[in-house]
Every structure is written in structure tokens, then in C-alpha cells.
Amino acid sequence: MNRAGFLALLPLIVLAATIVVVMLSIAWRRRHGLTLALTLAGLALGFASLWIAAPLAPCQVTPLLVLDRYSLFFFGLFFTSEFAIALLAYDYLRRHEVPREEFYLLSLLATLGAAVLAASSHFASFFLGLETMSISLYALIAYLRPRPRPLEAGVKYLVLAAASAAFLLFGIALIYAALGTLDFRRIAPALAAPSVPPAYLAAGFVLLLAGIGFKLALVPFHLWTPDVYEGAPAPVAAWIATLSKGSIFALLLRFLYSSRLLAGPAAHRLLLVLSLIAFLSMILGNLLALLQSNVKRILAYSSIAHMGYLLVPVLAGLRPAHRSLAVEAVAFYLVAYFLTTLGAFGVIGVLSTAQSDAGRIEDFQGLFWRRPLLAGIFAVMLFSLAGIPATAGFMGKYYLVAAGASAAAWALIVVLVVTSVIGLFYYLRIVAALFAPLAPAPSPRLSPASGLVLGALLVGLIWLGVFPEPMIRLIHALAIR
């Protein structure tokens, strides 16, 4: 690895160094504020180093990692999100009698895993990144140990994630057996060889998809989602909903488009499997959300549906002519989804007490008349999830439909549209509760840190919804090598 490689890798190196510094500082002295400050400073430095890495992109650093604009874009997104989550977690953790400092350590570690996923071009780095992220998440989900719910959620996630990792490894092994390579971009030439056994390949891909589907909570691998969302502390749930899913999605997109696996011999059936997963996720995610009465569970099911929506451009982009619009659509939608989800969980975090996280619809009853700003932010976030104009979610949904329409994937778009109207129903239920007559309940004040984050998210959300052009220009230059 030469000097350019080191420089290109700088964002990851800075992040790793931050983790070490935070760990040492905790060993030296436990100070909540100091740990937060170090975390934020490290993330800001990492973000700044993107500008050093950007001129060198695209740059292949070892066979494992590729630093192109695509991965740098996701680095930026992940660092920013982790920054927001750390600030939100600061307020959240202050209300709890647990060791607080390790939270930042673990979430930084998980962010490193997410960033590696976005940059990996090889199954080895894929698996390493995934495990770095997952193992940190096991601890994060069960972070509030005195409470039974987080512990239950953590164990559930641990067992299922371990099983899915086993599937994933087996799938990778089968693909390796069939093609003799672990490098994504060597897959396409290997597919052309006449001696590829299609059964190995198909089985390997399906197992791989099961592992990825688990992380993305796509139907039928979604069963853990509502329990983990409900049980995990609000900032951790935000982390799982955004960075965990976004990084896996970035990887999935790169894997599918650079390996051209779906142009290979078993393509037809694989495509069918992927489409079926998309349909099921959109339909079941939305229908099951209708039955929920806990806001965190509603958000969990809605996230299943949103990941299903995101498969629409992925499928549309399988033909190379539509690829660039598909990548654009996915990237924009993920940005919008990150902003929105962070905001929604941020509000939940602010409303949570030391005893329990806010979740029941009653916790939000009449919030608008007590805390207009907080409730207004939450309502805008929900409207964005529902894709109402003037929010980022609308532009995101527009992108999805445009990507689908440009590839003439009408069946997928129609299902997307119909199911998103079903989705509107449960979002409106929460909105209606927010504006319902006042219920006598205490509501915590908005602290400066959370207020700053939520305000920034709100502004960003509306900015992206009304003036999306700068972000579009940034995203338009992304391409998958």
C-alpha cells in the first residue's frame, strides 16, 4: 500500500484512531462530557478528511477496499448520522444510571464496521465489516442492562444475527466454490467460464440474500425487527434503522452491480426471488404496521416496507442503461430516510423517561399543544416517511418512482404506490394523536443538544424537499465501479 492508498484510507484511519483515543480516555477517567467531545471531534475530523481522500478517488486499497466517490459519500452520511446519534444519546443517557461512556465507544466501532461495508469490494472485507458492526450492536441493544426489555432484544438479535452470519458464510463459500473468487469484480469474468455449476451459484446467492435480508429486515427475514426496535434504547434503535441498514444496502448495491451476478446463468430465478422479496416487504411491512399500537413497533414495520421500496430502484437498475439513475435514487432515498428516521427516534428519545422509552401512542397524545416544536418536528418526520411534498421523503419517493418508471417496472411501482397509501394510514394515526386534545402527562423539556440536532434535521429535511438540487448534484456523480 502506497502513500496515496494511506491518504485515501484516511477517513477510516481517523475513525479507528478516534476509537482508540476514546477507549484510552475512558480508561483514564470516566467523564461523560469528555467522551462525547472526543467522539464528536473524531467524527468531525473524519468528515474533514473526506476532502483529502476525495481527489484520490477512485482508489483501490488492497483487494479488499475501494475508495471511490460512492464509498466516500456513504462515509460522509454515516459520520454525520453517528454525530447526530451521539448528541441525541448524550441527553438520553444522562437520564440513566448506567456506565455511559462505552456507548460512544461501541457506536463508533459499529460506525467503523458500517464504513468498511460501504467501501468493501471483496467478501472478506464484507464479512469483517459486518461482524464489526454486529458485535458492537449486540452490546448496544442490551446497553440498559437493568431493564428486561433491552436484554431480551439483545439476546434475540444475537441469536438471529449469529444464525444469519452462518448462512452468509455458507453462501459465500458456495459462491467461492462455484467461481473461485471472492472479489466482487472478478465474479463477472468468472461467470463467463463454461464450467460454472449453476446450482452452487443459485444456492450461494440465495443464502447470501438470506444473510443480507436479515440485516435489512426484509420479509421473510424480518421477525426480529419489531422486538429489537421496541426493546433497544431509542438512540440504538435509530442506529439500527439508519446506519446498519444503510451500510448493508450500500454494499448490496455495489455487490449486485459490480458482480453482475444477476446477468449470469441463474439470473432469471434470482431476479424472481429478489422481486418477490421486494413485493412481500412492501406489502407485509405496511399491513403489519397497521396492527401495531406502539410507535417504535410501527416504525419497525415501516422500516421493513421502506427497505422494500428501496429494492424497486435496485431491480430497475439491473439493466445497465438504468443503473446510474438507480444508484442516484438509492443514495437520495437513503439520505432522506436517514434524516427522517433519526428525527423520529430523536423525538422518541427526548420523550423517554428513566423508567421507559416513549412508545405507546398515548405518550404522544396532544403533544402539539404542550410542545409545539417537538410535535411539529415529529409530524414533519412522519409526513416525510409518508412521502408528502416539501419534505425529503417526497423527493426520495419521487426518485424511486422515477427510477422505476424509467425502466418501465410498472408492477413494482404500482405496488409501491398502493402500499405507501396503506402506510399513510398508520402515520396519520400518530399525527392525529399528536394533535388530539391534551392528555395530562408530563413532557420533558427539549435540551440544547437534542434541540440543535432535531432542528438541524428538520431544516435539512425541508431543504432537501424544496431545494434538492445541490444534493442531487452531489449524488449524480456517484457511480459504482
Partner 1 sequence: MILLCFILIPLSAGGLAWVAERWHAQAPRWLALAAMLADFALGLGVWIHFRPGALARLRPPAAAHPAPAWLLQLDWHWIPRFGIRFHLALDGLSLLLLLLTFFLGIVSVLVSWTEIRERVGFFHLNLLWVLAGVTGVFLALDLFLFYFAWELMLVPMFFLIALWGHERRRYASVKFFLFTQLSGLLMLIAILALVFAHAAATGVLTFEYAALLGTPLSGAAAWWIMLGFFIAFAVKLPAVPVHTWLPDAHTEAPTAGSVVLAGLLLKTGAYGLLRFVLPLFPRVSHQFAPLAMLLAVLGILYGGLLAYGQNDFKRMVAYTSVSHLGFVLLGIYAGNALALDGALVTMIAHGISTGALFVLAGLLQQRLHTRDLNAMNGLWDTVPRLSGVALFFALASLGLPGLGDFVGEFLVLLGAWPVSRLLAAFAAAGILVATFYALRLVQRAFHGPNRHAWRLPDLSRRETLALAPMILVLLWLGLFPSTVLRTFRLVIPSLQPPAAPAVLPAAPAAPGKALRP
Sign of the CA dihedral running 51, 52, 57, 62 = negative
Q: Does 417 bind partner 1 (CB under 8 A)?
A: yes
Nearer to partner 1, 98 or 466 (CB): 466
CB 403, min distance to partner 1, A: 10
Residue list 252-281, contact with partner 1 (CB under 8 A): none
- Based on CB atoms, which residue is closest to partner 1, 341 or 391? 391
Report which residue type is found at 87. Answer: L
The answer to whether 294 touches 231, Cβ cutoff 8 Å, is no
Q: Does 370 bind partner 1 (CB under 8 A)?
A: no
Please state the closest distance from residue 468 (CB atom) to partner 1, in A.
6
Assigned C-alpha cell, 172: 459465500
Q: How many CB atoms lie within 10 A of CB 163?
A: 13
CA distances in angstroms from 405 to 316, 325, 395, 408, listed in the order given? 9, 11, 15, 5
Angle between helical axes of 392-406 and 323-351 (0-180°, round to 10): 150
Taking contact as CB under 8 A, which single stretch among the options 159-167, 230-238, 340-348, 394-402 is the one that binds partner 1? 394-402
The binding track of 174-213 with respect to partner 1, each residue x by CB under 8 A or -, is ----------------------------------------
Binder of partner 1 out of 1, 146, 268, 321 (CB under 8 A): 321
Classify residue 122 as left (phi > 0), alpha (psi -120 to 50) or beta: beta
* Alpha helices (H) along 291-371: 295-316, 323-351, 367-370
CB 117 within 8 A of CB 70: no
User: Cα–chain-centroid distance for residue 142?
Assistant: 19
The reply to whether 389 sits near partner 1 by the rule CB under 8 A is yes
The one among 121, 468, 478, 480 contacting partner 1 by CB under 8 A: 468
Grouping H, G, I as helix, E, B as strand and the rest as coil, residue 59 is strand
Verify binding: residue 463, partner 1, rule CB under 8 A: no
- Nearest CB to partner 1, comparing residues 65 and 331: 331
Of 37, 196, 283, 402, the one binding partner 1 by CB under 8 A? 402
Q: Is residue 418 part of the contact set for partner 1 (CB under 8 A)?
A: yes
Cell 409545539 -> residue:
372
Residue selected from 181, 275, 294, 406 as contacting partner 1 according to rule CB under 8 A: 406
Residue 47: CB partners within 8 Å, gap ≥ 6? Answer: 11, 76, 79, 80, 83
Binding partner 1 by CB under 8 A: which of 41, 421, 459, 477? 421
Stretch that binds partner 1, among 81-89, 162-170, 229-237, 316-324 (CB under 8 A): 316-324
Q: Which residues form the interface with partner 1 (CB under 8 A)?
A: 321-322, 324-325, 369, 383, 388-390, 394, 398, 401-402, 405-406, 410, 413-414, 417-418, 420-421, 424-425, 428-429, 432, 435, 468-469, 472-473, 476
